[in-house]
């Protein structure tokens, strides 16, 4: 069991290392370098050379990679070319805002959609199932920016409950942002939930038809006990990786929705950094996305281990 965990963690670290190399190389491969980016088209060659030296761009790529990763490990991602502030602090601020949305989305979307999926599976082919399945199919087919726009129309324009756009900057406090968080979170949750609902429904149906659930029923157990103790561990197993992938998808999904709501989160920062060619920031964001993906999958693997004793007891006879 310990060796299983160790192997998974090791694989996660390896994946992260590879993605950091890829991120670094991708940025290197962009035409021009940071010095020409900063100084613009009219810069004299002398000025460019001076800045290159100042930014240590004249050193070989692998040395800069080592410096960058060493810094990144301490939370130091260099300096933003646009604001001149430390990238770490700036990204952290936006990231915190996004995390607020992500947290609420995950909390509601995952629990809600799991419940709905299980419900649909248990009431297979009856009206709760038809309702849930149809609605989730619609949620799946509509892109998130459309959902977001419809939500704004409903809850900001027609029925002004939530703000349509955020008027605060990235320094806004949680209290200031909180009213604005719900609509983006809802938009993301609707899109994300669809996948989880459908997956949970299918696996609940499969497991409920299994012999061991029939056996548990014929043992005279209550439906509640049959579902929670016997059916759910097996049903959650395949759903777990769908959840992990969807949570990881949030990192990208957030970008689109944040722009609809003008929400000062990581997605917005990413877009503006790309427009401004603020390479250190792009690099940092790319690395953070990789970390989110790897962490989600690692969590799913460990969760699978908790649900499946076969993975835990390997090596025992």
Partner 1 sequence: MTATTAIVSVDSLSVAYRSGGRDVSVVHEVSLDVRPGRTLALVGESGSGKSTVAATLLGHLRHGSRVTAGTVRVDGADVFALPARELRRLRGGTVAMVGQNAGQALTPSMRIGRQIAEVGGDIPVVDLLEQVRLPRPAELARRYPHELSGGQQQRVAIAMAVAARPKVLVLDEPTTGLDVVTQRGVLDLIGALRDELGLAAVLVSHDLGVVAHMADEVTVLRSGRIVEAAPTGRLFAAPQDPYTRRLLASVPRLDDAGLALVGEAGEREVRPRAVVSDASPVAVSARDLTVDYGSSRAVTRAVDGVSFEVRRGEVLALVGESGSGKSTLAWALAGLRAPSGGAMTHESGDLAGPARKRPLSLRRRVQLVFQNADTSLNPRRSVGDAVRRPLRFFGTAGSRAEAAARARQLISDVRLDPAFVDRLPAQLSGGQRQRIGIARALAGEPDVLIADEITTALDVSVQADVLRLLDDLRRERELACLFISHDLAVVRGIADRVVVLRNGVVVEEGPTDAVFADPGHPYTRQLMVAALEPDPDTRPLVADAPEWTDAAEPDDVWTELGDGHRVRRWSPLAREGVA
Q: How far is the CB of 216 from partner 1 (least distance, A)?
A: 7
Q: Is 1 in the site for partner 1 (CB under 8 A)?
A: no
Among residue numbers 218 through 237, which ones bind partner 1 (CB under 8 A)?
A: 218-222, 225, 229-230, 233-234
Rounded to 5 degrees, what angle do the CA atoms 239, 100, 232 make?
Answer: 20
Which span sits near partner 1 by CB under 8 A: 12-20, 42-50, 209-217, 281-289? Answer: 209-217
Is residue 130 involved in binding partner 1 (CB under 8 A)? no
The rounded distance, in Å, linking the Cα atoms of 95 and 81 is 19
What is the SS3 assignment for 79?
Answer: strand
- Enumerate the β-bridge partners of residue 86: 79
Non-local CB neighbours of 274 within 8 Å, separated by 6+ positions: 282
**Would you say 230 or 268 has its CB closer to partner 1?**
230
By CB under 8 A, what part of segment 288-317 binds partner 1? 307-310, 313, 316-317
Query: What is the rounded CA–CA span in Å between residue 98 and residue 93?
Result: 9
Q: Which two tokens stand for residue 294?
A: 């790897």
At its nearest, how many Å lie between partner 1 and the CB of residue 204? 14
> Cα(237)–Cα(258) distance, rounded to whole angstroms?
32
Q: Which is nearer to partner 1, 56 or 229 (CB)?
A: 229
Residues in 230-269 at the binding interface with partner 1, rule: CB under 8 A: 230, 233-234
If the CB atoms of residues 111 and 215 are measured against partner 1, the closer one turns out to be: 215
- Nearer residue to partner 1 within complex by CB, 239 or 283: 239
How many residues bind partner 1 (CB under 8 A)? The answer is: 26
Decide: is 128 part of the binding site for partner 1 (CB under 8 A).
Answer: no
How many whole angstroms from its chain centre is CA 129? 28
Q: Least distance in Å: CB of 307 to partner 1?
A: 6
Least Å from the CB of residue 127 to partner 1: 17
Nearest to 103 by CA among 215, 221, 254: 254
Q: Does 28 bind partner 1 (CB under 8 A)?
A: no
Interface pick for partner 1 out of 10, 61, 138, 209 (rule CB under 8 A): 209
Q: Nearest Cα to 260, choosing from 132, 190, 164, 154?
A: 164
Closest CA to 199 of 250, 241, 251, 147: 241
Q: By CB under 8 A, is residue 121 in contact with partner 1?
A: no
The full DSSP string for 286-297 is: HHHHHHHHHHHH
Under the binding rule (CB under 8 A), the answer on residue 214 touching partner 1 is yes
Instruction: For the chain, give the longest Cα–Cα distance.
Output: 85
Contacts with partner 1, residue ranges (CB under 8 A) = 209-222, 225, 229-230, 233-234, 307-310, 313, 316-317
């Amino acid at each position: 069991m310990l060796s299983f965990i160790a192997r998974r963690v090791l694989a996660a670290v390896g994946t992260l290392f590879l993605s950091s190399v890829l991120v670094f190389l991708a940025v290197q491969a962009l035409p021009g370098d940071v010095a020409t980016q900063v100084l613009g088209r009219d810069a004299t060659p002398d000025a460019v050379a001076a800045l290159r030296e100042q930014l240590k761009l004249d050193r070989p790529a692998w040395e800069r990679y080592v410096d960058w990763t060493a810094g990144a490990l301490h939370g130091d991602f260099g300096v933003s070319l646009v604001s001149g502030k430390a990238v770490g602090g700036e990204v952290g601020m936006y990231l915190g805002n996004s995390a607020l949305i992500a947290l609420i989305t995950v909390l509601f979307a995952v629990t809600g959609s799991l419940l709905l999926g299980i419900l649909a599976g248990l009431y297979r082919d009856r009206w709760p199932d038809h309702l849930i399945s149809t609605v989730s199919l619609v949620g799946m087919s509509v892109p998130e920016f459309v959902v977001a726009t419809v939500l704004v129309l409903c809850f900001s324009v027609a029925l002004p409950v939530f703000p349509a756009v955020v008027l605060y900057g990235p320094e806004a406090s949680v209290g200031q942002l909180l009213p604005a968080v719900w609509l983006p979170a809802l938009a993301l949750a609707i899109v994300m939930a669809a996948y989880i609902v459908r997956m949970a429904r299918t696996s609940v149906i499969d497991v409920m038809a299994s012999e061991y659930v029939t056996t548990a029923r014929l043992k005279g157990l209550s439906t509640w006990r049959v579902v929670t103790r016997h059916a759910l561990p097996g049903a959650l197993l395949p759903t777990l990786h769908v959840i992990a992938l969807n949570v990881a998808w949030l990192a990208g999904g957030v970008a689109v929705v944040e722009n609809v709501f003008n929400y000062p989160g990581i997605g917005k920062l990413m877009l503006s950094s790309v427009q401004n060619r603020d390479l250190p920031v792009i690099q940092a964001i790319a690395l953070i996305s990789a970390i989110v993906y790897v962490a989600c999958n690692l969590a799913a693997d460990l969760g699978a281990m908790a649900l499946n004793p076969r993975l835990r007891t390997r090596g025992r006879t």
